[in-house]
Amino acid sequence: MSLKAVLFDFNGVIVNDERVHEKLIEQLLIEENLRLKPGEYQEVCLGRSDRACLLDLFTRRGRVVTEAYLMQLLERKSQAYQQELASLEEVPTYPGVAALMAEIRSVPLPVGVVSGAMRSEIELVLERLDLTQHVSIIVAGDDIKASKPEPDGYLMAVMRLNDHDPELQLQPEHCLVIEDTFAGIEAAKRAGMQVVGVANTYPYHMMQRQANWAVDYLTELEFDRVQRVFDGTERTDGIEPAISEG
């Protein structure tokens, strides 16, 4: 088995924007004469698509959510997100993202982004962070209805990377995923992929229990060692030998 592609989650891995999303979801509910309960965003929305988050929140409150109504909510939330980012001088990101993507592309390996966020949001952030040139494919919330922890997004990424480069002959087991939530880790594992859990949203020890590898920060990820583990040139009996403990 060899490493042939790296797939990044978006919110919580590339862009540090969970507080922005929680604020916008809360505003959207208020506009619909509803309220977000304490802790409900973390319970319902973390690691899941905006589609799944809004559908569950509104269904819990007895609202009948048609596809047209849901699309209207998603569009309103996406527009508000883009306006929020436009007001920021700098897009909040995490240390090491740009350097890691550049290292992966120099191997060279293709990079994908798999997220429940809307494509317009992902493209805006990648452009603002000057990362567009590193990303070969995007699987966004516009593309799939199933949310993480369902594996659909990661499986679609494999198909799209093979369409992008038929000679790649990519299979799920050739992919490394970088995630920050339990739902995302589960989705990647159900797709048959190995996962680096970065402790941007949950503590390191919780990532360590869930993912194949764990780091506190992406700056600690020893990508060359992970690649050697994939290629079978370095043994590991767990997560510690391949990744800095932090």
CA atoms of 237 and 29, how far apart (whole Å): 47
CB-CB contact of 195 with 188 (8 Å): yes
User: 147-174 pLDDT, tens per residue?
Assistant: 999 999 999 999 999 999 999 999 999 9
Confidence of residue 236 (pLDDT cuts 50, 70, 90): low
Pick the more confident residue, 234 or 36.
Answer: 36
What pLDDT is attached to residue 103? 96
Which residue shows structure tokens 């739902």? 183
Counting beta carbons within 10 angstroms of the beta carbon of residue 83, is it exposed (0 to 12), middle (13 to 18) or buried (19 or more)? exposed
User: 112-129 pLDDT, tens per residue?
Assistant: 999 999 999 999 999 999
User: 60-106 pLDDT, tens per residue?
Assistant: 999 999 999 999 999 999 999 999 999 999 999 999 999 999 999 99
What pLDDT is attached to residue 1? 75
Q: pTM surpassing 0.75?
A: yes
As given in the structure block, the two tokens for residue 148 are 């993480």
The sheet carrying 137-139 orders its strands as 137-139, 111-114, 5-8, 175-179, 194-198, 213-215
Confidence check: pLDDT of 23 > 90: yes
Question: Domains along the chain?
Answer: 5-16+93-231 (3.40.50.1000), 18-86 (1.10.150)
Give the number of other Cβ atoms within 10 Å of residue 11's Cβ: 26
Confidence check: pLDDT of 245 > 90: no
- pLDDT mean over 202-207: 96
